[in-house]
Amino acid sequence: MKIFENEIVSEFFEDKLAVAGVFLFIAFIFCALFPALLSPQNPYDLEQLFLENSFKAPFGEFLLGSDEQGRDILSAIMYGLRISLYVGVASTILSVLIGLIAGLVSGYFGGIVDTIIMRIADIQLSFPAILVALIIMALWGQGVTKIVIAITIVNWVYYARTARGVVLSEKEKDYAQSAKALGMNSIGIMFKEILPNIMAPIIVIATVRIANAIILEATLSFLGLGVPITEPSLGSLIANGYQVLFSGYWWGSVFPGIVLMSLVISINLIGDRLRDVMNPRLKR
């Protein structure tokens, strides 16, 4: 694929902020993959929680303080990070797959298939994403898999539209036409010839939408319609902390919020740089 050629990779790393974003993101992934290695406590092992430790202020025995049940906030953040990242990445992979196939088919074949797929997309886009996800979750109940599917339902449209747009212009180009003349079948042309040319814009959108998916999940969890209390994400940690915020226990929601924010910023830094590097219209 074109995007992994050296020129673009080296251009990507010219920007210091983008490099910082990459490092930060790798650090977050590491914490999310191995929370058991790094965290001082297993926050969901009840034998390790002691009520006399409840609401300890940060920077003492507990680096980032503890919650009502004496749970270490730092450990809870690491386990929460895992769920937030999982939801973001899983829903993005799923929606890219569905969106790409829908967009390719819709753009390549046109006609009635195109009309149906794009009509569905239009109806869905006429409602704000958060509202659609909210209603799905309200009807369906909480759950990690459910929220992944809800976010996928919301997000596939963006990929489908982008893919369709690119296919419409690409399929008329010489290389696609000659593949057709050489007798390649439609599926071959779509996936072998056209697909590689769609990947650049799709990767840029996907990076930004991972960040978006993570925020969406956090928002739904904050509203009490996201992940269940047994598998708390960063959003549900913030929501838990919010309930005691007015009593002055600020650390329960401020620290998970800072982590959530840095995670999203690191992803957006990468996404921004990718877009600048891959946008041919900004090249002289």
Partner 1 sequence: MSVISFIVFFIMYKAGDPVELLLPPDATHQEVVQMRAYLGLDKPFTTQYAIFVKNALKGDIGNSYIYGQPAVDIVIERFPATLELSFLAMFFSVILGIPMGVIASVKPKAILSRSIMFFSLAGISIPVFWTGMVFVLICSVYLGILPSSGRGEVLYFTSAFTWDGIKHLIMPVITLTLFQLALIIRLTRTGMMEVLMQDYIKLAKAKGLPNRIVIYYHALKNTLIPVITVIGIQFGQLIAFTIVTETIFAWPGTGKLIIDSIQNLDRPVVVSYLLMVAFIFVIINFMVDVIYTFVDPRVRVK
The alpha carbon dihedral of 22, 25, 27, 29 has a sign of: negative
Question: How near is the Cβ of 236 to partner 1 at its closest, in Å?
Answer: 12
- Applying the rule CB under 8 A, the residues between 102 and 131 that interact with partner 1 are 123, 126-131
Comparing C-alpha atoms, which of 203, 222, 182 is closest to residue 277?
203
Name the phi and psi angles at 201, rounded to 5: -60, -35
Nearer to partner 1 (CB atom), residue 188 or residue 224: 224
Question: How near is the Cβ of 152 to partner 1 at its closest, in Å?
Answer: 17
Is there binding between residue 238 and partner 1 (CB under 8 A)?
A: yes
Is there binding between residue 185 and partner 1 (CB under 8 A)?
A: no
Single out the residue of 223, 228, 231, 244 in contact with partner 1 (rule: CB under 8 A). Answer: 223
Is there binding between residue 246 and partner 1 (CB under 8 A)?
A: yes
Per-residue contact string for residues 63-82; x = within reach of partner 1 by CB under 8 A: --------------------
**Which one of 8-16, 68-76, 158-166, 247-255 is the stretch in contact with partner 1 (CB under 8 A)?**
247-255
User: What is the number of other CB atoms lying within 10 angstroms of the CB of residue 30?
Assistant: 12
Is there binding between residue 134 and partner 1 (CB under 8 A)?
A: yes
Q: Enter the tokens of residue 250.
A: 């600020």
Residue 26 is classified by DSSP as H
Is there binding between residue 248 and partner 1 (CB under 8 A)?
A: yes
Between CA 223 and CA 278, with CA 264 as vertex, the angle to 5 degrees is: 135
Nearer to partner 1 (CB atom), residue 97 or residue 258: 258
Is there binding between residue 16 and partner 1 (CB under 8 A)?
A: no
Is there binding between residue 229 and partner 1 (CB under 8 A)?
A: no
Is there binding between residue 261 and partner 1 (CB under 8 A)?
A: yes
Is there binding between residue 268 and partner 1 (CB under 8 A)?
A: yes
Please name the residue that has the structure tokens 């997309």.
121
Comparing C-alpha atoms, which of 245, 219, 240, 218 is closest to residue 229?
240
**Which one of 8-16, 84-92, 182-190, 251-259 is the stretch in contact with partner 1 (CB under 8 A)?**
251-259
Q: Enter the tokens of residue 196.
A: 């590689």
Residues in the chain: 284
Question: How near is the Cβ of 159 to partner 1 at its closest, in Å?
Answer: 17
Question: How near is the Cβ of 138 to partner 1 at its closest, in Å?
Answer: 4
Strand ranges in the chain using DSSP code E only, listed in sequence order: none
Q: 95 to each of 3, 59, 101, 180, how far by Cα in Å?
A: 21, 41, 10, 29
State how far the Cα of 221 lies from the Cα of 169, in Å rounded to an integer: 40
State in Å, rounded, how far the first CA of the chain is from the last one. 23
Using CB under 8 A, list all residues that contact partner 1: 123, 126-131, 134-135, 138-139, 211, 215, 218-219, 222-223, 235, 238, 242, 245-246, 248, 250, 253-254, 257, 260-261, 264-265, 268-269, 272, 281-282, 284
